[in-house]
Amino acid sequence: MIRFFHIFKTFYDNGLYICEIETLFEELLESVKYSFYEEKSTSDKYMLTSILADIPIFEKYIPCRDVPQSVTLMDVNNFHITRLVLDSKFLIPEIVSEKILSIAEDQKRINELLYLLNPDSAGLGNYIGGLAWAMLQYLIENEMK
């Protein structure tokens, strides 16, 4: 749903197919409301809110951009991967960086991750490989500042 709305919002923001997209959004309104409130992933909910908050038809149906107060390691991974896939510069909440730093400062957790990380589980789709990749993205972004 995030990628779908990102694509159509990009068209809409560039003045393409405005009438068609507005009609489509009206038809999807009930599904979006239901999906949003049923969504369990903190990262998916935040990113969907970030995209939909600027679309007039959805403004009154979604809560303001609530910043997550806690995230799981899967959310950390999801934030960075989705940002890369969408090539979007939406803000990643500070709690994500704090989660990465909490791991980086805990030698026991680093050792556990290194134990789990092996050639068979180093892909981006893998939990451990994805987390290592998200940590690397965080370090690269902070080195560039």
Domain for residue 64, yes or no?
A: no
Between residues 127 and 8, which one has the greater pLDDT?
Answer: 8
What per-residue confidence (pLDDT) applies to 139? 67
Please tell me the pTM assigned to this model: 0.66
What is the pLDDT averaged over residues 112-141?
Answer: 62
Q: What is the mean pLDDT of residues 17-42?
A: 84
116 and 80 within one domain: yes
Number of other CB atoms surrounding residue 116 within 10 Å: 14
Model confidence at 63, pLDDT cuts 50, 70, 90, reads: low
pLDDT value at position 99?
81
Q: Which residues of 46-85 are buried (b: 16+ CB within 10 A; e: fewer)?
A: bbbbbbbeebeebeeebeeeeebeebebebbbbbbbbbee
In a domain, 67, yes or no: no
Enclosing domain of residue 122: 73-144
Alpha-helical segments (H) within the chain: 2-13, 18-38, 42-52, 73-86, 94-104, 107-116, 127-144
Q: Residue holding tokens 């704090």?
A: 98
Q: Are residues 41 and 79 in the same domain?
A: no
Residues 45 and 90 in one domain: no
pLDDT value, residue 117: 59
Contact status, residue 9 vs residue 55, Cβ threshold 8 Å: yes
Q: Give tens-digit pLDDT for 66-91.
A: 668 888 877 887 887 788 788 777 78
Q: Are residues 38 and 6 in the same domain?
A: yes
